[in-house]
Copies of this chain bind each other. A is one copy, B any other.
Amino acid sequence: MKKPAVKPAEATVVTHVSDVTLRNFMGYHMKRAFNVVQTDLVQTLKPFDLRMLTYTALVLIVDNPGMRQSQLADGMDIERPNLVVIIDELERRELIIRERVPTDRRAYALKATLAGQQLYEKAVAAVTKHEALLLDGIDDATRATVIAALKQIEKSPRKG
């Protein structure tokens, strides 16, 4: 990809920003698109006082009652230390409980409280609705293709 030498010292005026080199760079588009989704999600979850991470944790715990923190960290694709404050927050708000596992006293079984399950219902409905708006204009087949591709990238050998 040859670049012409920088023009002589007259005033160069850029009227339109070219992203030709980045145009096929998946990481670039993923970052930009994710920023949009993330910003929208923050707004959507604000009424429930949840962030993407606390929302994801709550959903996984409701769907998997009794799961361990290490399993949850794995499922959320974050490091164990970073999960602790998330669980702390959900527990403090009495949305989940940490229950000692009798058969392995190192571990906690995570379970949602009734309040946690109720918040889950409302938050999931809101997120589903908002995401539908965000993806409006992208047909179902395309969405499925995109999700399948993203899942494949997730599972890339470099990952783990």
- What is A's interface to B at a CB cutoff of 8 Å? 1, 3, 6-7, 11-14, 17-22, 24-41, 43, 52, 56, 59-60, 62-68, 71-72, 74-75, 77, 101-103, 109, 111-112, 117, 120-121, 124, 127-128, 131, 134-135, 137-138, 142-143, 145-147, 149-154, 156, 158-159
Contact = CB atoms under 8 A, between A and B. Distances in A.
For this chain, the copies found in one complex come to 2
Given A21-B124, A75-B19, A33 B150 contact: yes
B64 A17 contact: yes
17 contacts: A3-B117, A3-B120, A6-B111, A11-B101, A17-B72, A17-B74, A26-B143, A26-B146, A28-B56, A31-B52, A32-B150, A35-B77, A36-B158, A138-B149, A145-B149, A146-B149, A146-B150
B63 A20 contact: yes
A26 B25 CA distance: 20
Q: In the complex, which of the residues A20, A25, A39, A127 has the most CB atoms of chain B within 10 Å of its own CB atom?
A: A25
A43 B27 CA distance: 13
B63 A19 contact: yes
A24 B148 CA distance: 10
B17 A65 contact: no
B14 A67 contact: yes
A10 to B, nearest CB: 10
B77 A22 contact: no
Given A12-B109, A34-B31, A63 B21 contact: yes
A32 B124 contact: no
Contacts of A109: 11-12
